[in-house]
């Protein structure tokens, strides 16, 4: 009797708790007018201070509170932002922008061209990963409140693109000397950070800015961005209906997300493969011979590697330029078909019939099996790979030109010039041996400062040249995916791994 | 104080040994070396380690633990916003462990037979299954499958008590299962030993009801060792919270510890080290005081 009573009480209590918990975890009603967007984010925010900001996966955090001087359409076309008009001078070194005169920051300060100029200078001199975007800016001046004049030492056709990204973020001057600038944004963007409900590093809550100048870009009353560092936690949130949209850590999660009723917007934002950087043969004489570099390209079974390493999710390629750039040439996706015999013949022709040893860095964030597969494929044609274990020193040594070649996953930029600037010019960070090839330099100059048609033709020619010279041994462009739940839609952004915030919206 | 100081010196030194490229980790893998150098200078990483330590220690003594190198948030703010999450998780788990573990231990020791056998088997299984696996199973069944509770995230008790319960209940269960098994075994063993002692037979011979003998005398005498194990389990749970907070995406100290360590965010990791050291010292003090309350002989010794 006593035990029965106890059991009844326990059961009733349990039921009450279960009902209470269930009631508080019910998903939002679909009839609601999409007041809240719950966005899953896979990268923690580096900083809200524009001059320290990162982009790519972090762009939603920043686009919520800031405007950029220019914006980019999903296809990469540059369009109006804070600037309504922009034009280059004849030398293509001076860009003049006309700014809106009706914009205020969330602290009530008005946007002026001087504030924008100060932001640009801070970005150039700051510690953003992309500070080098503005390294060539010699001055940013404001002849009047709405005119901003940016002067460059040399032409940079990608400047408007940079101004649509973190280099173009404009914060209130009150942030400049604030010790809290990294965590307390004062922008003119479509939302305002709700500091009370925000947990730095975990969850950011934004409320719509009622006075925003571009009301059409504001689709939600509130946006909650939750950081999911663990892929399992993200997928649990997806399956549990706790996010409306999210970027996935891996394309392998697409099937699970689709099974949970999500739609996957797929894109290719990077390329995986080898950078054969010692094109002069300074570190490893064999690598200075184009036939050896071509042999490496022929030795790699790209289809097999894509299947084995990324479940076939991606597109094999032998070029590093992205599909949306003017340099892209579909034919160059299969310039080096898998042909170990051809690879051996090229090695013999170059005087390495008995093969040679190539030292490359391994790391602890790529499974060891990946390095084993690479080693096996290159060994099959006579190239002995010695993997040198690295730790925190990997990037410093890699960019310092320690190795003749190394495997890596690198971004594909939206424009040809950005790709060139990133890894092909003598001063490019990812041309780690700083090889100066006259043909590359000459064609790059045309891409940089030529008329559009000439620049596009030069970009194509340059792409063909570096593929023929086997500067790289790309394997494939892996698929990345942004998923949306029923009721939410998103448009993929060229050159950015996450759709721009205003392109994530309720389903029409 | 000496313990905290020693741990701080060791922690600072070891963190610097392992953080050779912190500036690059903050600004990004693909950043230009000049920007990496600029960041290293801004953070003072180009100064000797001894100077960096005394700088940090001097500020810490004044209550200023510095700012996170990564997020820029004051370390004290970061810890203050995350400590309640971890404490509610670990204190909840330790309460569940203490209550359920004691009940199971008492049942096993007093009932014996099939009840004892079942609790023994259950304890072995509970202790053997890793916490993260329990967490994953709980999420899949109760959050993803039944939608009874949210799969991830945290709701503060100020926002909603039931909401808070809904976000904390599964992590508490995941964290307490192994510890409960351990406490049940400890209580069972201690009680079986105590039940064989002469004074128990004497108490029974004097006609004192069995329930009073069991709970007022045997359990109290057996509680000492179990309390020591409970103190250790609390400390173990602080470590277990790291994994559980990751699985449930709870914004606690564990989640911060993982990301701050990966990022090489030394001020934040040092703050975590100091706070954890203080918590461990407080737990040991609390256990000692409780031991004295339970057993007057401890006070005399």
ipTM summary value: 0.75
Q: How many CB pairs under 8 A join A and B?
A: 170
CA-CA distance, B36 to B24, in Å (whole number)?
Answer: 5
Q: What is the pLDDT of residues B4-40, one digit of tens each?
A: 788 888 888 887 776 667 888 888 777 778 888 888 8
pLDDT at A29: 38
Q: Which residue of B has its CA nearest to A21?
A: B166
Q: How far is B288 from chain A (nearest CA, A)?
A: 34
> Is residue A22 predicted with pLDDT exceeding 70?
no
**Under 8 Å between Cβ of A59 and A165:** yes
Among candidate residues B66, B63, B183, the one with its CA nearest the CA of residue B122: B183
* Chain A CB contacts of B32 below 8 Å: 131-132, 135, 429
pLDDT at A104: 96
Taking phi over 0 as left and psi of -120 to 50 as alpha, with beta for the rest, B207 belongs to left
Q: Do B165 and A20 touch (CB under 8 A)?
A: yes
Residue B268 banded pLDDT, cuts 50, 70, 90? very high
Minimal Cβ distance to B39: which of A127, A202, A236: A127
Minimal Cβ distance to A240: which of B26, B144, B256: B144
> Is residue A472 predicted with pLDDT exceeding 50?
yes
- Among A164-168, B136-140, B161-165, B207-211, name the one with the lowest average pLDDT: B207-211
CA-CA distance, B166 to B162, in Å (whole number)?
Answer: 6
- Among A416-430, A468-482, B142-156, name the one with the lowest average pLDDT: B142-156
User: With helix as H, strand as E and coil as C, how does A395-463 read?
Assistant: HHHHHCCCCCCEEEEEECCCCHHHHHHHHCCCCCCCCCCCCCCHHHHHHHHHHHHCCHHHHHHHHHHHH
Q: Do A46 and B18 touch (CB under 8 A)?
A: no
pLDDT at A149: 98
Q: Do A233 and B150 touch (CB under 8 A)?
A: no
CA-CA distance, A76 to A60, in Å (whole number)?
Answer: 17
Q: Do B29 and A18 touch (CB under 8 A)?
A: no
Q: Which residue of A has its CA nearest to B37?
A: A127
Q: What is the pLDDT of residues B191-216, one digit of tens each?
A: 888 888 888 888 888 888 888 888 88
Check if B81 contacts A (Cβ < 8 Å): yes
Per the prediction, chain A carries an average pLDDT of 91
pLDDT at B59: 87
* Chain B CB contacts of A201 below 8 Å: 70-71, 73, 78, 251, 256, 259
Check if B257 contacts A (Cβ < 8 Å): no
Q: How far is A289 from chain B (nearest CA, A)?
A: 27
Q: What is the pTM of this model?
A: 0.83
Query: What is the share, in percent, of chain B residues with pLDDT greater than 70?
Result: 98
Long-range CB contacts for residues B33-39, cutoff 8 Å, separation at least 24: B33/A396, B33/A399, B33/A400, B33/A429, B34/A132, B35/A127, B35/A128, B35/A129, B35/A131, B35/A132, B36/A396, B38/A126, B38/A127, B38/A131, B39/A127
């Amino acid at each position: 009797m006593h035990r029965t009573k106890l059991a009844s009480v326990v059961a009733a209590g349990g039921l009450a708790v279960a009902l209470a918990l269930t009631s508080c975890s019910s998903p939002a009603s679909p009839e609601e007018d999409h007041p809240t967007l719950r966005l899953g984010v896979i990268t923690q925010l580096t900083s809200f201070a524009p001059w320290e900001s990162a982009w790519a996966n972090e762009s939603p955090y920043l686009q919520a509170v800031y405007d950029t001087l220019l914006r980019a359409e999903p296809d990469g076309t540059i369009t109006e932002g804070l600037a309504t008009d922009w034009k280059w001078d004849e030398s293509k070194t001076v860009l003049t922008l006309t700014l809106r005169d009706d914009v205020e920051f969330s602290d009530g300060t008005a946007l002026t061209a001087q504030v924008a100029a100060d932001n640009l200078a801070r970005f150039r001199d700051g510690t953003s990963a992309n500070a080098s975007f503005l390294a060539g800016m010699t001055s940013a001046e404001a002849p009047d409140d709405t005119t901003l004049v940016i002067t460059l030492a040399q032409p940079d056709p990608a400047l408007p693109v940079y101004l649509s990204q973190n280099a173009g973020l404009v914060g209130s001057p009150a942030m400049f000397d604030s010790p809290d600038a990294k965590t307390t944004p004062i922008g003119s963007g479509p939302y305002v950070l709700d500091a009370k409900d925000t947990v730095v590093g975990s969850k950011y809550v934004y409320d719509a800015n009622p006075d925003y100048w571009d009301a059409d870009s504001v689709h939600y009353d509130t946006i909650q961005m939750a950081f999911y560092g663990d892929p399992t936690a993200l997928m649990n949130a997806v399956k549990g209906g706790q996010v409306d949209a999210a970027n996935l850590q891996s394309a392998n999660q697409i099937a699970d997300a689709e099974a949970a009723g999500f739609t996957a917007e797929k894109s290719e934002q990077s390329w995986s493969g080898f950078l054969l950087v010692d094109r002069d043969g300074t570190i490893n004489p064999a690598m200075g011979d184009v036939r050896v570099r071509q042999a490496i390209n022929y030795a790699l079974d790209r289809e097999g590697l894509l299947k084995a390493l990324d479940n076939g999710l991606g597109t094999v390629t032998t070029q590093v330029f992205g599909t949306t750039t003017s340099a892209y040439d579909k034919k160059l996706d299969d310039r080096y078909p898998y042909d170990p015999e051809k690879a051996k013949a090229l090695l013999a022709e170059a005087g390495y019939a008995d093969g040679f040893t190539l030292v490359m860095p391994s790391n602890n964030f790529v499974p060891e099996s990946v390095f084993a597969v690479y080693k096996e494929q290159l060994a099959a044609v006579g190239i002995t790979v010695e993997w040198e274990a690295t730790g925190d020193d990997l990037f410093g040594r890699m960019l310092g030109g320690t190795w003749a070649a190394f495997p890596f996953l690198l971004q594909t930029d939206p424009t040809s010039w950005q790709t060139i600037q990133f890894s092909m010019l003598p001063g490019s960070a990812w041309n780690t041996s700083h090889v100066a090839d006259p043909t590359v330099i000459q064609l790059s100059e045309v891409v940089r400062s030529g008329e559009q048609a000439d620049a596009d033709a030069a970009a194509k020619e340059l792409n063909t040249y570096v593929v023929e010279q086997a500067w790289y041994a790309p394997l494939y462009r892996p698929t990345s995916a942004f998923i949306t739940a029923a009721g939410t839609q998103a448009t993929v952004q060229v050159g950015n791994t996450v759709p721009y915030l205003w392109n994530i919206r309720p389903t029409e | 104080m000496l313990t905290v100081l020693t741990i701080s010196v060791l922690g600072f030194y070891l963190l610097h040994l392992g953080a050779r490229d912190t500036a690059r980790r903050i600004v990004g893998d693909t950043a230009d070396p000049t920007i990496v150098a600029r960041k290293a200078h801004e953070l003072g990483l180009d100064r000797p380690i001894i100077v960096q330590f005394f700088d940090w220690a001097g500020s810490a003594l004044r209550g200023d633990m510095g700012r996170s190198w990564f997020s820029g948030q004051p370390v004290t703010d970061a810890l203050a916003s995350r400590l309640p999450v971890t404490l509610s998780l670990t204190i909840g788990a330790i309460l569940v462990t203490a209550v359920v573990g004691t009940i199971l231990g008492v049942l096993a020791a007093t009932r014996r037979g099939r009840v004892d056998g079942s609790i023994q088997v259950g304890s072995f299984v509970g202790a053997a299954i890793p916490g993260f696996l329990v967490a994953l199973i709980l999420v899949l069944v109760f959050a993803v499958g039944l939608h009874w509770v949210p799969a991830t995230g945290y709701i503060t008790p100020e926002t909603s008590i039931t909401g808070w319960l809904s976000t904390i209940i599964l992590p508490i269960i995941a964290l307490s299962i192994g510890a409960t098994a351990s406490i049940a075994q400890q209580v069972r063993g201690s009680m079986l030993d105590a039940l064989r002692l002469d004074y128990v037979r004497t108490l029974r011979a004097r006609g004192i009801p069995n329930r009073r003998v069991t709970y007022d005398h045997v359990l109290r005498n057996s509680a000492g060792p179990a309390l020591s194990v409970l103190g250790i389990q609390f400390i173990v749970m602080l470590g277990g919270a790291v994994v559980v907070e990751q699985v449930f995406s709870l914004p606690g100290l564990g989640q911060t510890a993982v990301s701050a360590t990966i990022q090489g965010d030394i001020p934040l990791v040092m703050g975590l080290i100091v706070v954890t050291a203080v918590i461990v010292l407080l737990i040991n003090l609390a256990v000692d005081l409780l031991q004295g309350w339970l057993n007057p002989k401890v006070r005399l010794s």
